Chains A and B, each alone.
Chain A
């Protein structure tokens, strides 16, 4: 019979966490996104042409890539919630790669 109060306590705790919205930032689901498209002389850039990273909170956020049509979006990445929120000051960095073409 002692198990019942513990079980109620456990479910109560789970319910409380859900209602409080715990973990709502862990996946960057705050609803704020930063997006755009990288072009080179008017033409959409390819992923291999451009490196991309973000400077915010006095550190670099690496591992960002642009898509095949040059588009990028922040807001759903693992650590995006740390800077992708209203009032944050971010610097987006884009580096044109060295490109080797072989035939």
Chain B
């Protein structure tokens, strides 16, 4: 670069640094008068998805399959984690869900979801997310991680 050049430096942040993309105050029951929810912090506090990687296909030899993430390390908060294996239904996604207080969960391959009489299985899953949930006073906070694409090929179940 020759001396005297005039340059413009450009920085782009794809996301708000260190924040959950989506946060909910979930199903709050409104009370009479002033409903002060206090501070709602969107920060990640060390949380992130670990494995499996984004956009991978899991073969029939990899079961049971472990999903892992890092701890939400905010002082004084002990969250519940909800692993959501998301299946497209009509214009939305419905999850096969596993709930834990730890930072990983195993799925065996025979998990399924029954909705309106219809049965959905793991081979229909398109992506996964983890929801970090905890109470905050009289309300519940839910943070959702980014989603990772996945294709699952679970082993055949006995009736298949």
Contact = CB atoms under 8 A, between A and B. Distances in A.
A62 to B, nearest CB: 16
A93 B11 contact: no
Interface string B33-45: 1111111111111
Contacts of A86: 30-32
Contacts of B24: 91-94
Contact of B25 (A83, A84, A92, A100): A92
Contacts of A35: 34-37
B40 to A, nearest CB: 5
A96 B19 contact: yes
Interface bin, chain A: 35 or more
A6 to B, nearest CB: 41
A83 B30 contact: yes
Contact of A96 (B20, B25, B30): B20
B30 A91 contact: no
A99 B40 contact: no
B41 A40 contact: yes
A48 to B, nearest CB: 10
Contacts of B25: 36, 90-92
A33 interface: yes
User: Which residue, of B11, B14, B16, has the highest number of chain A Cβ atoms within 10 A?
Assistant: B16
A26 interface: no
B28 interface: yes
B28 A92 contact: yes
Query: Interface residues of A: mostly helix, strand, loop or mixed?
Result: strand
Interface string A30-73: 01111111111110010001100000000000000000000000
Given A49-B16, A99-B13, A100-B13, A94 B42 contact: yes
A18 B24 CA distance: 39
A96 B42 contact: yes
Contacts of A100: 12-13
Contacts of A90: 25, 27-28, 30
B22 A95 contact: yes
Interface string B91-103: 0000000000000
A33 B34 CA distance: 5
10 contacts: A33-B33, A36-B38, A36-B39, A37-B38, A39-B42, A40-B19, A41-B41, A89-B29, A92-B28, A95-B21
Given A36-B38, A40-B43, 6 more contacts: A36-B40, A37-B39, A39-B42, A40-B42, A90-B25, A94-B40
